[in-house]
Amino acid sequence: MSEVMVVSDSGRLQGLHPTAAAVYRFVLSFKRECGGDSPSRREIAERLDVPVSVVHHHLATLERAGLVTLPSARGARRIGIPGAVWTPPV
């Protein structure tokens, strides 16, 4: 299992729509478990039982809030977490 160091976001999640906060927590959890790899939008949607369009909307909200970074290319899976440092499993 990889380790991650993240700047505390507990206060930054306050005021977000509950689904946006759930998307953020799932992405962070997935990246921890997968050595920094990102889930696909479909994986997020399936896990949260919401349409992919809802995931797109909330990822954009999280990007505007500075909680995630998204690639400019469509379909790319890289969702960044600013302030996070991923280390490979030992």
Write the pLDDT tens digit of every residue in 17-50.
Answer: 999 999 999 999 999 888 888 999 999 999 999 9
pTM for the complete prediction?
A: 0.82
Q: If one looks up domain 17-71 in CATH, what number appears?
A: 1.10.10.10
What's the Cα-to-Cα distance from 17 to each of 23, 74, 84, 86, rounded to whole Å? 10, 24, 22, 27
Q: What is the pLDDT of residues 49-65, one digit of tens each?
A: 999 999 999 999 999 99
**Residue 5 predicted with pLDDT over 70:** no
What are the residue boundaries of the structural domains of the chain, listed by start?
Answer: 17-71
CA neighbours within 13 Å on the CB side: how many for 52? 6
Q: Would you tell me how many other CB atoms lie within 10 Å of the CB of residue 53? A: 10
